Structure formats: C-alpha cells, structure tokens
Amino acid sequence: MFVRMLSALMCLVIFCSNCAFAWNVRSFSKDEDVVSALKLLDNIGADEVFNNLQENSVKIIFYDLAMININYQTHFAINSVDNWGERYILINSRYRGASTEELACLIAHESFHKSDRATMEEEVLATQKEAYYWSILKVPGKFYKPSKLSNRLNTLVCQYNDSTDSYNLIEKRIQNSKFYQNQLAVRERR
C-alpha cells in the first residue's frame, strides 16, 4: 500500500513538473494561428526561441507590413519596436494562411533579432535558425501550399544542409543579396 502511494505521489510530481516547464504561449500572442505555431515550437523544446521572446517581452501579431513602409509589403515578417518601446514580431498578413510549421519558422527567425540594429551576424544566425527549425518541423508527405515562403524555407534548408564550417551558404546568400545589403545599411545608419 505504501509503495503504491509513493509511486502515485512520484507520478503526480513528475506530471506537475512537466506542466510547470511549459511556456505560456498566450503571453506572446492572442492570435490562434500564432498560438498554434508557438505550441508547435514548445512541443519540440525550442526553448531558445522562447528565451529570446521572453527576454525582449515580444508580442506577435499579423500585420499589413505595407502600412509601415511600402517597401515592406513583400517581407515575410519583421521584428520591430513601437513608439512606446514595446517589441513586436509582425508577420505579414499575406501569410495568415501559411501552415503552422511555416509560421513557427518565421517566429523562430524573428526571435533571434534582439539588437536595435541589425547586423550581418544576427541576420545569418536568424536565417540559420529558420532553416534549422524548418528541417525539424516540415512534415514529410504533407502538402504545403506553394508560395514564396515555402520556396524560401525549402531553399534555406538545402543551403543549411549543404554548408560546411568553412563555407556557409546561408551567409554567402545574405552577403550577396541586394535586399540584405540595403536593409542592413539602412538599419546601421539609424
């Protein structure tokens, strides 16, 4: 009888401790699509993403990025600070219909933008993490609606997998991109 009670108590403690370590994903967003993506990241133990989000008290929403600047209309997502100093990840509202896995990768990428000024190193790390999470989250055999986002993610995974310690294809992609050259130059001038 004592052994059963002790076993039951140990099971209860283990169950409660597992629940205690789960992230409160609703503290980052109220949007159900975003919450689903965050739950997916939580299920795979993406603590580094949640640590980044928590460190900067980030809120995540869908937003028409063209409202910020017409040049942002084709961006996938941005990490931004509002006029009151609150940090947001703004996912382009064009991608509201994206899969949970794709949204999770965008969130992972943007969570690694922690400084006020973007740097090449930060962009490379964020993009590598985006590719890493897509390599884990993409469900084999699942149909993903063809889009610029799915094409980007698939390309990044190939570059991530084909990179070596001495030749990082994602870093080369970013260094050679006119978009990133302009974006990083603008952010560094601010």
Query: Given this model, what pLDDT does residue 18 score?
Result: 42
Query: Given this model, what pLDDT does residue 89 score?
Result: 97
Question: What is the 3-state secondary structure of the chain?
Answer: CHHHHHHHHHHHHHHHHHHHCCCCHHHCCCCHHHHHHHHHHHHCCCHHHHHHHHHCCCEEEEECHHHCCHHHCCCCEEEEECCCCCEEEEEEHHHCCCCHHHHHHHHHHHHCCCCCCCCHHHHHHHHHHHHHHHHHHCCCCCCCCCCHHHHHHHHHHHHHHHCCCCCCHHHHHHHHCHHHHHHHHHHHHC
Domain regions of the chain by residue span: 23-189
pTM: 0.84
Q: Would you write out the chain's pLDDT as a tens digit for each of its 190 residues?
A: 544 544 444 544 444 444 445 789 999 999 999 999 999 999 999 999 999 999 989 999 999 999 999 988 999 999 998 889 899 999 999 999 999 999 999 999 999 998 877 789 999 999 999 999 999 999 999 999 999 999 999 999 999 999 999 999 999 999 998 877 776 654 443 4
Query: Given this model, what pLDDT does residue 44 score?
Result: 96
Query: Given this model, what pLDDT does residue 114 score?
Result: 87
